[in-house]
């Protein structure tokens, strides 16, 4: 095994993650849901200019936040491209020419790029946290204002009371589905950790896998390489069994997520009908859409936290290579050198795909920061009843068209 075996043992503390470019699939519907729910809230506050201005301010803040998120993801694209076009060719040159000192310099430069991204993402996470608290304050302000105006009303109609009861039943069903989804996600996380540990242990016994595990923090390519190597059949059977369980759990998760979203759309529809009746009685509608806005902002924030953790892992992996591989003791070994060069070629392809995935994220934030909030340019109070209804129907249709993506391909081998 030689130098690669040493690398495998020394990189054992750094666990490759199954986190993959598939996070984009979560980012797209979440960002769209935020703007559409803002739109609904904006329509519901048409008769209340003070609250309408407050909501517009929060929506504009979200729009600006998405613009800053776009800039951070663009930096991720640039760094991924730099790894492919600069770092990996330089490492190849250093290995071929037996120049470990040069390789260390290149790796440290790459770690500097990555450290900048980590700091930028951390700042974005903090900004989302502050903004979400501001949205919560706005929700509280609307509730306070609603209480004051509702005092002037004798009582809500029986129709409104019936609608509220329907919404409560749907919310109870949604809470039950969400609990089932959370439990399924916990099972998936546990199986993923089990699969990671199994693949990591197998990688430590294979020269090529050990090097690839250090260069690529994705578990999919490691699985693919392991199967192609056609060794350790007993381990391969265990891995296949875990993959099968993961695929089954992922299918269950996708089904629950779709069920969850269908219930959310139904609740949104009933709340909109309720809001319309409340507006007819000059009562401020419940600010429930803003609660949903907070939820999806939190979801985007969690994706950014994942992104930060991902780059921290990459930073650590490159540090391991720098400190424990390019020490001059293994570069003269032909087998080690050839395996390292093969792994760099594989890593280049994987990182290129990751950069493209981040590029799609850039486009998602770009659309959301520029086009999705144009409804703020129109005063909802100026809309006729027919135009207001048409606007509502349009937003409702777009919400219903949002689909939950299938998670299972991200857990299987990436081709």
Per residue in 43-77, pLDDT (tens digit) is 888 778 888 888 899 999 999 999 999 999 999 99
Q: Is residue 41 part of a domain?
A: yes
**pLDDT at position 116, please?**
93
Token pair of 179 as six digits: 């609990």
Is residue 204 one of the residues assigned to a domain?
A: yes
- Domain count for the chain: 1
How far is the C-alpha of 137 from the C-alpha of 366, rounded, in Å?
Answer: 27
Q: Look at residue 65 in the predicted model and tell me its pLDDT.
A: 92
Of the candidates 406, 365, 265, the one whose C-alpha atom is nearest the C-alpha of residue 32 is: 365
Residue 8, domain member (yes or no): no
Mean pLDDT, rounded, for 382-410 = 73
99 assigned to some structural domain: yes
Going by C-beta distance under 8 Å and a sequence separation of 6 or more, which residues neighbour residue 43? 380, 388, 391, 392, 395
CATH value at residue 37? 1.20.1170
Residue 279, pLDDT > 70, answer no
Q: Which residues are bridge partners to 218 per DSSP? A: 17
| pLDDT over 70, % of the chain | 81
pLDDT for residue 32: 86
238 found inside a domain: yes
The pTM (predicted TM-score) of the whole model is 0.68
Contact 365, 67 (CB under 8 A): yes
- Establish if 252 belongs to a structural domain: yes
Q: State the Cα torsion 244-173-129-52 to the nearest 10°.
A: 140
Q: What is the model's pLDDT at position 118?
A: 93
Query: Alpha-carbon distance 386 to 365, whole Å?
Result: 32
Q: Are 366 and 70 in contact (CB under 8 A)?
A: yes
Asked if residue 3 belongs to a domain, the reply is: no
pLDDT digits (tens, 9 = 90+) for 10-54: 333 333 344 445 566 677 778 888 999 899 888 888 778 888 888
Q: pLDDT of 185-241, one tens digit each?
A: 899 889 888 888 888 777 777 766 777 777 777 777 777 777 776 666 777 788 888
Shortest CA distance to 88 belongs to which of 216, 218, 204?
A: 216
Per residue in 309-355, pLDDT (tens digit) is 888 888 888 887 776 666 555 556 677 777 788 888 888 888 888 88
Distance (Å, whole) CA 83 – CA 114: 10
Domain around 332: 18-400
User: Average pLDDT, whole number, for the chain?
Assistant: 79
- Is residue 318 domain-resident? yes
């Amino acid at each position: 095994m030689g130098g690669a075996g040493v690398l495998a043992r020394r990189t054992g503390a750094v666990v490759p993650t199954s986190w993959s470019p598939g996070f984009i699939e979560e980012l797209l519907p979440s960002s769209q849901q935020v703007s559409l729910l803002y739109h609904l809230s904006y329509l519901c506050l048409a008769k209340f200019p003070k609250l309408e201005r407050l909501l517009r301010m929060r929506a504009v803040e979200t729009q600006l936040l998405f613009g800053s998120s776009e800039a951070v993801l663009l930096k991720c694209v640039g760094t991924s491209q730099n790894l492919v076009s600069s770092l990996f060719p330089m490492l190849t040159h250093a290995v071929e020419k037996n120049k470990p000192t040069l390789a260390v310099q290149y790796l440290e430069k790459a770690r500097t790029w990555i450290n900048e991204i980590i700091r930028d993402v951390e700042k974005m996470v903090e900004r989302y946290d502050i903004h979400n608290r501001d949205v919560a304050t706005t929700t509280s302000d609307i509730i306070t204002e609603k209480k004051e105006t509702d005092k002037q009303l004798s009582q809500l109609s029986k129709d409104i009371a019936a609608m509220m009861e329907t919404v409560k039943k749907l919310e109870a069903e949604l809470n039950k589905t969400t609990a089932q989804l959370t439990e399924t996600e916990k099972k998936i996380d546990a199986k993923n950790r089990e699969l990671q540990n199994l693949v990591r242990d197998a990688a430590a016994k294979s020269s090529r896998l050990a090097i690839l595990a250090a260069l690529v923090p994705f578990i999919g390519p490691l699985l693919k390489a392991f199967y192609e190597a056609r060794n350790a059949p007993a381990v391969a059977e265990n891995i296949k069994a875990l993959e099968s369980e993961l695929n089954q759990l992922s299918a269950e998760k996708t089904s629950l997520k779709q069920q969850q979203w269908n219930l959310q759309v139904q609740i949104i529809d009933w709340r909109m009908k309720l809001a319309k009746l409340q507006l007819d009685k000059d009562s401020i509608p419940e600010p429930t859409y803003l609660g949903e806005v907070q939820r999806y902002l939190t979801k985007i924030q969690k994706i950014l936290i994942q992104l930060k953790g991902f780059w921290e892992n990459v930073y650590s992996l490159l540090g391991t290579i720098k400190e424990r591989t390019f020490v001059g003791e293994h570069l003269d070994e032909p087998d080690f050198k050839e395996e390292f060069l093969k792994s760099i070629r594989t890593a280049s392809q994987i990182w290129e795909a990751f950069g493209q995935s981040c590029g799609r994220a850039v486009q998602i934030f770009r659309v959301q920061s520029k086009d999705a909030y144009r409804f703020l340019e129109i005063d909802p109070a100026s809309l006729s009843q027919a135009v207001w209804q048409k606007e509502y129907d349009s937003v409702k249709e777009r919400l219903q068209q949002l689909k939950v993506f299938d998670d299972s391909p991200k857990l299987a081998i990436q081709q």
